[in-house]
């Protein structure tokens, strides 16, 4: 499995305004923490990580746009997943939209900040595909020095959350990134 966009897909995504990155294999929230990701605190790791089913990230090409998807604020995870799945009809052949795992979002936030000097998702949260108990995780950026927050969403309503879609090579399937946002 290549995990790469075909050159024509990559070019079309760039023309549509997507930004490209290549995520490394084996990303985990704990591994990113050990590598120096600037988490705001330890609450998630101390109290919630044991209850989370963290999705694996095998690595590969991803495309993203800074910020939340228009119209996604305050939607439930299911509503956000349906909105993201609707993007597929607007994407070039060879690309598929999904809600990413929390570790991918954390990596992408740090990578973008290092390359561009700005934090994505400033003062907001995106849904993540990982389940924690009866809900999903959310990832956001709040503050300056140690801004990353990962947290389960206890109320399930999506109040104050949106979604930042992740675009992956079509057909990558389970084990890389979720192939569909509704899985």
Average pLDDT over residues 123-136: 94
Domain limits, the chain:
7-169
Best mean pLDDT range from 94-108, 148-162, 167-181? 94-108
The pLDDT tens digits for 88-129 are: 999 999 999 999 999 999 999 999 999 999 999 999 999 999
Average pLDDT over residues 67-96: 95
Report residue 161's pLDDT band, with 50, 70 and 90 as the boundaries: very high
pLDDT at 174 over 80: no
Report residue 159's pLDDT band, with 50, 70 and 90 as the boundaries: confident
Average pLDDT over residues 8-23: 97
pLDDT at 172 over 70: no
Contacts (Cβ under 8 Å, ≥6 apart) of 15: none
Are 120 and 19 within 8 A, CB to CB? no
């Amino acid at each position: 499995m290549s995990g790469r966009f075909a050159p024509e897909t990559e070019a079309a995504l760039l023309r549509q305004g997507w930004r490209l990155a290549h995520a490394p294999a084996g990303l985990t929230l704990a591994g990113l923490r050990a590598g120096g990701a600037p988490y705001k605190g330890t609450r998630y790791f101390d109290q919630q990580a044991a209850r989370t089913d963290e999705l694996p990230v095998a690595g590969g090409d991803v495309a993203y746009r800074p910020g939340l998807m228009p119209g996604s604020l305050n939607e439930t995870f299911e509503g956000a997943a349906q909105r993201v799945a609707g993007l597929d009809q607007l994407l070039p052949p060879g690309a598929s939209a999904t809600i990413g795992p929390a570790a991918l979002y954390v990596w992408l936030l740090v990578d973008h900040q290092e390359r561009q000097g700005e934090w994505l998702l400033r003062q907001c949260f995106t849904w993540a595909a990982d389940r924690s108990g009866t809900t999903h995780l959310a990832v956001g950026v709040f503050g300056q020095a140690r801004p990353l927050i990962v947290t389960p969403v206890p109320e399930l309503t999506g109040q104050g959350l949106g979604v930042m879609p992740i675009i992956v090579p079509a057909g990558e399937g389970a084990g890389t990134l979720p192939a569909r946002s509704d899985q």
